[in-house]
Amino acid sequence: MKRAAMFLGAVLALGLLVWAQNPLLINGAGATFPNPIYSKWFDVYHQKNANTQFNYQPVGSGAGIRQVTDGTVDFGATDGPMSDEQLKAYQDKRGSAILHFPTVLGAVVPTYNVQGVTGALNFTPEALAGIYLGKITKWNDPAIAGANKGVSLPAQDIVVVHRSDGSGTTYIWTDYLSKISDEWKSKVNRSTSVNWPVGLGGKGNEGVTGLVKQTPDSIGYVELIYAVQNNIPYGTVKNSAGSFIKADLASVTAAAAGAAKEMPADFRVSITNASGKTAYPISSFTWLLIPSKIQDGAKRDAIKAFLKWMLADGQAYNEPLSYAKLPKEVVEKELKAINQVQ
């Protein structure tokens, strides 16, 4: 027994062991989509400012919104902007407003596994909506074949795959479908989780990818980074200007540039189906949620300093990780908005 007690004592002491200087710990929670770039930014920032630690955890946009409203974290992050009710709930609970700051751009792409098809398929908005509504059921349907002349599509049933877990990716995808299809908007609409008319649910990007890879004649949607990093074939989508665009950093930034001019003051905007000849139609911002009133002076200064850094030097780290940079106009507006944090 004595031996056990000593052992326990040693391990308990271990818990108190690491006590260096007392760095400032700032906790944030939210979207999983930007986690790679955020972890890069916070790491680089910590190396330049050894006394500040930003601890970000990708627990999900909804959880992030809830936790920043509860006050259990210092900032949040979300792929879909907060709704008016959520803004009001925050205001009621905390007595001040919460601010949105766009950080990076991302895109959602259609991925598929069709027997005999090796190149990139072209998808029209009508085709995508029809497939996901369950009205277009075979791969050789004219709506798909018409955009892919010269490709021989099998007469097989389409197996539809979507996300089962609530996610910003789903929000972006359904937001796009709602814009280009009235039927989708009235039947399903947009949200992080929807009542899908057809299809299997895969958990996370890797769940969808796994299902698509293993199920012949299937289609799914995943984040661009995911497709790029894992070498998954994905198709082009026809944008509002009529061109079939493949998602990449340039086409995503083009989508944001179009929206930049009419950016509302609170930065809550959807840029799916954006105008612009080279714009990729299923793109989106992702936001940091910063309280407008921060009691702790040290935390407030650190957060403001980080935001300034992120908008300037931070953006240089985006593209190597397949995230698109913010357009210049948006950056300028945000720099001014930082002053609202008090």
Partner 1 sequence: MATANPTLQSPGPTVGSRSFFAKLKEGDEIARLVTFVFAASVVLITLLLVYELWVNSVLPRQKFGLSFFVTQVWDPVMDEYGALPFVYGTLVTSVVALLIAVPLGIGASIFLAELAPPRISDTLQFFIDLLAAVPSVIYGLLGIFTVVPLMRTVIYPALNKPLGFLPIFKGPSYGVGFLTAGIVLAIMVIPYIISVSREVLLSVPRDQREAALALGSTRWESTWKVVVPFARTGIMGSIFLALARALGETMAVTMVIGNTPKISASLFAPGYSIAAVIANEFTEATGDLYLQSLIGLGLVLFLLTFVLNGLARILIIVTTQKGSKVAN
Partner 2 sequence: MGARLRWRKFVSNFMLTMTGVCAFVSVIVLFLILGYLVFNGGTSVSWNFFTKLPTPVGETGGGMANAIVGSAKLLLAASLFGVPIGFLGGIYMAEFSGSTIASIVRYSADLLNGVPSIVVGIFAYSLVVLPFKHFSTLAGAFALGLMMIPITLRSTEEFLGAVPRMLREGAMALGASKWKTISTVIVPAAYRGILTAILLALARVAGETAPLLFTAFGNRFWSKGWGQPTASLPVMIYTYAVSPYEDWHRQAWAAGLVLLGLILIINILARTILSRGIAVPRG
**Nearest residue (CB) to partner 1, 148 versus 167:** 167
User: Residue 199's binding partner, choosing from partner 2, partner 1, none, with beta-carbon cut-off 5 to 8 A by kind?
Assistant: partner 1
User: Residue 183's binding partner, choosing from partner 1, partner 2, none, with beta-carbon cut-off 5 to 8 A by kind?
Assistant: none
Report d(CA 208, CA 212) in Å as an integer. Answer: 6
Of 92, 53, 77, 187, the C-alpha closest to 130 is 187
User: CB of 136: closest distance to partner 1 in angstroms?
Assistant: 19
**Nearest residue (CB) to partner 1, 36 versus 210:** 210
**Nearest residue (CB) to partner 2, 11 versus 155:** 11
Residue type, 269: V
User: Residue 214's binding partner, choosing from partner 2, partner 1, none, with beta-carbon cut-off 5 to 8 A by kind?
Assistant: partner 1
**Nearest residue (CB) to partner 1, 163 versus 325:** 163
User: CB of 153: closest distance to partner 1 in angstroms?
Assistant: 20
Residue type, 298: A
**Nearest residue (CB) to partner 1, 219 versus 274:** 219
Of 159, 160, 163, 158, the C-alpha closest to 207 is 163
User: CB of 237: closest distance to partner 2 in angstroms?
Assistant: 20
Residues forming contacts to partner 1 in the complex (CB under 8 A) are: 59-63, 65-66, 83, 85-86, 159, 164-167, 188-195, 199-203, 206-207, 210-211, 214-215
User: Residue 166's binding partner, choosing from partner 1, partner 2, none, with beta-carbon cut-off 5 to 8 A by kind?
Assistant: partner 1
User: Residue 43's binding partner, choosing from partner 1, partner 2, none, with beta-carbon cut-off 5 to 8 A by kind?
Assistant: partner 2
Report d(CA 190, CA 166) in Å as an integer. Answer: 12
User: CB of 162: closest distance to partner 1 in angstroms?
Assistant: 9
User: CB of 82: closest distance to partner 2 in angstroms?
Assistant: 20
User: CB of 57: closest distance to partner 2 in angstroms?
Assistant: 4
Report d(CA 25, CA 283) in Å as an integer. Answer: 33
**Nearest residue (CB) to partner 2, 81 versus 291:** 291
User: CB of 19: closest distance to partner 1 in angstroms?
Assistant: 30
**Nearest residue (CB) to partner 1, 208 versus 260:** 208
Residues forming contacts to partner 2 in the complex (CB under 8 A) are: 3-4, 7-8, 11-12, 14-16, 18-19, 23, 25, 27, 29, 32, 35-36, 39-40, 42-44, 46, 53, 55-59, 63, 70-72, 204-206, 223, 225-226, 228-230, 320-321
What six digits make up the tokens of 239? 């944008």
